[in-house]
Amino acid sequence: MTSPTPDAVDTDLLIIGAGPTGLYAAYYAGFRGHRVAVVDSLPELGGQITAMYPEKQILDVAGFPSIKGRDLVEGLVSQAGTARPTYLLDRTASTLAQDDDGVTVGLDDGTTVRAGAVIITAGIGKFSPRPLPAQADWLGRGLAFFVPSFVPYAGKDVVIVGGGDSAFDWAVHLEPVARSVTLVHRRDAFRAHERTVQQVRDSSVEIVTKAEVTAINGGATVESVDITVDGVTTTRPAQAIVAALGFIADLGPMQQWGLEVLKRHIVVDPSMQTNLPRVFAAGDITEYPGKVRLIAVGFGEAATAVNNATVAMDPSAKVFPGHSSEA
């Protein structure tokens, strides 16, 4: 793994986004014989999985009935390593310029990357968690937005706020670790997967609906929370609070590149090409009729993007190179 200092980088394919789809695209670029560079605004590989869900069990990746997030990323990094990619981490792709021979992308640290083609695999783009109204200055003092490790929650009373997949996933995994887990949601309907919701209902987790956390109490760290239901407020012990209220995401500087965008997603055709020549996209950031946002789908889109980018760089090349098992 290399991470050059600000300068000029010359490569065949530049991949913007180092999550699962981007890592697989890096591997496949190597399979097609390309030099490849990968840029990501996060300091570590793995995208959202590394930042937010390293302990989560992922159930919809082909070949793995269940695999922990960090293990999936580790395998993808190892696979991508066969392409000997140049990693440009903790940097944001800021500008894009095109000419007849390729694409030039400027990063926010002054690095310039010259590539034959670009594949955008940036997931939901740059993201920040939605704040908990009662959070005040409790972040890092018992309040967290992500659960990268379950160890700090052992033996604690934990309150999780939210009704989506993250809230329910963390409830499932923290239930056997914590002293108690309470899930608070402002509605009595949930956005989480039905199977996970049922797992939580069947566990010792207490679900409190039509409710809000209206105050966080304590000294140096969180000691309790006030939960209000139908105007009635009760106080209960809590040494840890997880605010799983979703994220505010945007495409950042990419919004100024002239890409066709629909509801924060980049529109692509069946070859995964955007409306800009030599610029492709894959994974959750893409939009087209029938789009399904799964890691498994992103892997296929990455291969499609790399193969079609190959032809964009060299019209004499074939889109389909043959199966890897035939090599």
Residues of each annotated binding site for FAD: 21, 40, 48, 53, 93, 127, 284, 325
CA nearest 43: which of 21, 25, 18?
A: 18
**Dist CA 316 CA 13 (whole Å):** 17
**What 3-state DSSP class applies to 191?**
coil
Identify residue 236 by its one-letter amino acid code.
R
CA nearest 18: which of 34, 33, 3, 32?
A: 3
Tell how far CA 270 is from the center of its chain. 23
CA nearest 123: which of 327, 265, 310?
A: 265
CB contact burial 38-54 (16+ within 10 A = b; e otherwise) = bbbbbeebbbbbbbbbb
**Dist CA 304 CA 280 (whole Å):** 10
**Dist CA 134 CA 193 (whole Å):** 27
Torsion, Cα 108 109 110 114, to 10 degrees, reads: -70
Q: Which residues are annotated as a binding site?
A: 21, 40, 48, 53, 93, 127, 284, 325
